[in-house]
């Protein structure tokens, strides 16, 4: 069922062909618990993550803990090597060290923001089941499923308090730079 403004009604049901029936059933129950409904009205162009549709995630946004550790170790090693090189008095090496430090800082900040963006966490038993079935990052997959079935505000306003409806408030705040516990309205240019 679709309407004129680009919305469609979806049944909250996970049917990922890469997962077992038991995993799909447990995911469906968990997502319904968070969303609080069996059927929802969502934008029609939203990816069908629940049906196994892949969403393209750029490398720099798909940060997992092991990837974050690797990024950090490479950044530290590069900084140490360049700091040692600057002890030879070459100002070009000093400038290169500064550039590497700034890039490293940006990578660390982006990594922290990426790791903190997982908004929903399923129970540990479900995480273990998904990991056994080869799901790369079960918590992020679960968050993507919740986002698929959560309606978004048309004007970008955050009208839902976290205490009232966690799933809807999470969806409203997903793309915001400053998530808040209470309702808010966007201001400034482009709002």
Domain boundaries along the sequence of the chain = 7-59+121-173, 65-115
The pLDDT of residue 34 is 83
Cα within 13 Å of Cα(27), Cβ side: 34
d(CA 74, CA 105): 12
- Residue 43 has φ and ψ, to the nearest 5°, of -60, 135
The pLDDT of residue 4 is 44
pLDDT in tens, 132-161: 998 877 887 888 888 888 776 555 555 666
The pTM (predicted TM-score) of the whole model is 0.57
The pLDDT of residue 138 is 84
Decide if 149 contacts 31 (C-beta within 8 A): yes
The pLDDT of residue 79 is 75
The pLDDT of residue 35 is 82
Residues of the chain falling short of pLDDT 70: 1-5, 54-65, 114-120, 152-163, 165-191
């Amino acid at each position: 069922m679709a309407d004129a403004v680009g919305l469609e009604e979806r049944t909250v049901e996970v049917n990922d062909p890469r997962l077992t029936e038991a995993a799909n059933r447990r995911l469906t129950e968990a997502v319904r618990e968070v969303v609080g409904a069996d059927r929802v009205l969502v934008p029609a162009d939203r990816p069908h993550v629940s049906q196994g549709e892949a969403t393209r995630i750029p490398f720099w946004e798909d940060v997992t803990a092991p990837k974050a550790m690797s990024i950090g170790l490479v950044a530290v090693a590069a900084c140490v090597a360049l700091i040692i090189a600057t002890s030879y008095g070459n100002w070009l090496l000093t400038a290169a060290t500064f550039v590497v430090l700034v890039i490293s800082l940006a990578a660390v900040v982006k990594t922290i923001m990426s790791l903190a963006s997982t908004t929903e966490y399923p129970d540990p038993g479900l995480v273990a089941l998904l990991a056994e079935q080869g799901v790369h990052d079960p918590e992020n997959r679960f968050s993507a499923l919740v986002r698929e079935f959560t309606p978004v505000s048309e004007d970008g306003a955050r009208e839902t308090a976290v205490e009232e409806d966690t799933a809807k408030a999470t969806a409203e705040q997903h793309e915001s730079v400053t998530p808040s516990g209470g309702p808010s309205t966007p201001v400034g240019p482009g709002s």
